[in-house]
Amino acid sequence: AQKITQTQPGMFVQEKEAVTLDCTYDTSDPSYGLFWYKQPSSGEMIFLIYQGSYDQQNATEGRYSLNFQKARKSANLVISASQLGDSAMYFCAMRASPGSARQLTFGSGTQLTVLP
Amino acid sequence: EADIYQTPRYLVIGTGKKITLECSQTMGHDKMYWYQQDPGMELHLIHYSYGVNSTEKGDLSSESTVSRIRTEHFPLTLESARPSHTSQYLCASSSGLDTGELFFGEGSRLTVL
């Protein structure tokens, strides 16, 4: 069984500062994928970044980077130069086996508030 | 930009009514999913489909039902709505290839009085 743990229910960060959102996971699958999604108050889920378990380098997408530590089973999201529009709920998710039809398992989320 | 649409976005309805939440995607994805999410909480899978005429129940038990008669359409139905069904329902689709990223609709917020 897969499990995603996000231990920070809420986080605050000053505008223009960097912030790290924690995510740890547990799986017995040898091959898996990790995702981060952003959910603004409007409710839609926005894909941010993806990391494959066999990817040699940490994924980056603009201001988002994923700090992947496979031995520790962690996949933290780093947002650099925070903006007011980054205030939202952030979910870490995992899917087993690239190409698998299985659905994503989501963590409980972290509510990020960016302060002016 | 993902092309997956949900209607209605908001619905307030009385107990006992039948409701159908619509979900359509224009990406030709075989795999479609319904997630249920209470405010500020995690997403729970309630139904999924691997293709036409294929539907399965998810991890969270739900009184809703789904159908997949066409690839692009995956409606969710509640025969008799109750206050406990009040929640947000998110539809998603995936090609099943590459990363397996899910593309989400904007969600349907259901309130049952």
Tell whether the model's pLDDT for residue A100 goes beyond 80. no
Tokens of B64: 């809703």
Q: Please report the pLDDT score of residue B47 as a whole number.
A: 94
d(CA B41, CA A93): 14
Question: In chain B, what percentage of residues exceed pLDDT 90?
Answer: 77
Q: Please report the pLDDT score of residue A103 as a whole number.
A: 73
Could you tell me if B104 lies within 8 Å of chain A, comparing CB atoms?
yes
Could you tell me if A111 lies within 8 Å of chain B, comparing CB atoms?
yes
Q: Which residue has the higher pLDDT, B22 or A3?
A: B22
- What integer is the mean pLDDT of A53-75? 94
Q: Please report the pLDDT score of residue A36 as a whole number.
A: 97
**10 Å Cβ neighbour count for B42?**
17
Cβ distance of A91 and B97 shorter than 8 Å? no
Q: Please report the pLDDT score of residue A29 as a whole number.
A: 85
Q: Which residue has the higher pLDDT, B60 or A52?
A: A52
**Buried/exposed A69-89: b ≥16 CB within 10 Å, e otherwise:** eeeeebbbbbbeebeeebbbb
Q: Is B79 left (phi over 0), alpha (psi -120 to 50) or beta?
A: alpha
Burial class from Cβ neighbours inside 10 Å (0-12, 13-18, 19+) for residue B96 reads middle
Could you tell me if B1 lies within 8 Å of chain A, comparing CB atoms?
no
Least confident of A68-77, A104-113, B90-99: B90-99
Question: Chain centroid to CA A106: how far?
Answer: 10
Cβ distance of B96 and A35 shorter than 8 Å? no
Q: Residues 6 or more apart from B77 whose CB is under 8 A from it?
A: B18, B19, B20, B21, B64, B65, B66, B67
The answer to whether the CB of A93 falls within 8 A of the CB of A104 is yes
pLDDT band for B6, please (50, 70, 90 cuts).
Answer: very high
Cβ distance of A91 and B43 shorter than 8 Å? yes
Tell whether the model's pLDDT for residue A97 goes beyond 60. no
Measure the N-to-C terminal CA separation of chain B; round to a whole number of Å. 35
Tokens of B111: 């309130």
Tell whether the model's pLDDT for residue A99 goes beyond 80. no
How many A/B residue pairs have CB atoms within 8 Å?
61
Q: Which of A31, A97, A104 to mutate to test the interface with B (most CBs of B within 10 A)?
A: A104
pLDDT band for B58, please (50, 70, 90 cuts).
Answer: confident
Closest CA to B20 of B60, B58, B54, B67: B67
Cβ distance of A109 and B42 shorter than 8 Å? yes
Query: What's the whole-number average pLDDT of chain B?
Result: 92
Tell whether the model's pLDDT for residue A101 goes beyond 90. no
Q: Which of A37, A90, A103 to mutate to test the interface with B (most CBs of B within 10 A)?
A: A103
Using a CB-CB cut-off of 8 Å, the residues of chain B touching A35 are 99, 101-102
Using a CB-CB cut-off of 8 Å, the residues of chain A touching B31 are 101
